[in-house]
Amino acid sequence: MLFLHEFERIEAEAFLTLAAEMIEEDGIVTAEEDALLAEYANALGIYDFTYDAAASAAARDTLAQLNEVSKRKVYMELYSFAICDEFEDPSERRALNELRESLGLDAHICRKLEICAQDLFSVYASIEDALSADPSPIKVEN
């Protein structure tokens, strides 16, 4: 998705730290998750990012200083990392709940953002299906 285009380097690195933490939460880092993290790092202009688990608390503190809308964007984007492997592990749910609480976000709003992210993933999947679909054997006459 990437709604974080306005982030400065420190905020972007904080986000990437929590994103890396999220994809490691279930104990399995898929190639898709790793590629997504690299895509976000590139889009945020952080070309030398390396995950440091010890930086997670500082990353949360940095992101807690954001305005309400930016915190919501962070939550939605991190939720996208949790579901990018098409499965939300209970450990990822716990991490999302902890993130929501640490950012002081409303649970109802976060649920709405999760539904939006799911809908967007569904649209992306439909686009991929249409792009890779075989031509129809039925010819339409004008």
CATH number reported for the structural domain that contains residue 103 in this entry: 1.10.3680
Give yes or no for a contact between 66 and 4, defined as CB atoms under 8 angstroms apart: no
Alpha carbon 130 to chain centroid, angstroms: 24
**5 falls in which pLDDT band (50, 70, 90)?**
confident
| Position 64 in a domain | yes
| Position 69 in a domain | yes
| Position 20 in a domain | yes
Which pLDDT does position 138 carry in this prediction? 82
Give yes or no for a contact between 64 and 39, defined as CB atoms under 8 angstroms apart: no
The total domain count for the chain is 1
| Position 84 in a domain | yes
| Position 21 in a domain | yes
- pLDDT at 140 > cutoff 80: no
| Position 132 in a domain | no
Return d(Cα 101, Cα 59) in angstroms, integer: 15
The 10s digit of each residue's pLDDT in 14-73 is 999 999 999 998 888 888 889 999 999 999 999 999 999 899 999 999 999 999 999 999
| Position 134 in a domain | no
Q: What is the mean pLDDT of the chain?
A: 91
| Position 3 in a domain | no
Give yes or no for a contact between 94 and 86, defined as CB atoms under 8 angstroms apart: no
- What mean pLDDT comes out for the span 111-118? 94
Which pLDDT does position 136 carry in this prediction? 81
- pLDDT at 87 > cutoff 80: no
Give yes or no for a contact between 104 and 64, defined as CB atoms under 8 angstroms apart: yes
**1 falls in which pLDDT band (50, 70, 90)?**
low
Could you tell me the residue range of the domain that residue 56 belongs to? 9-125
Look at residues 80, 84, 87 and name the one whose alpha carbon lies nearest to residue 32: 84
> Cα–Cα distances in Å, from 46 out to 32, 62, 138?
19, 16, 48
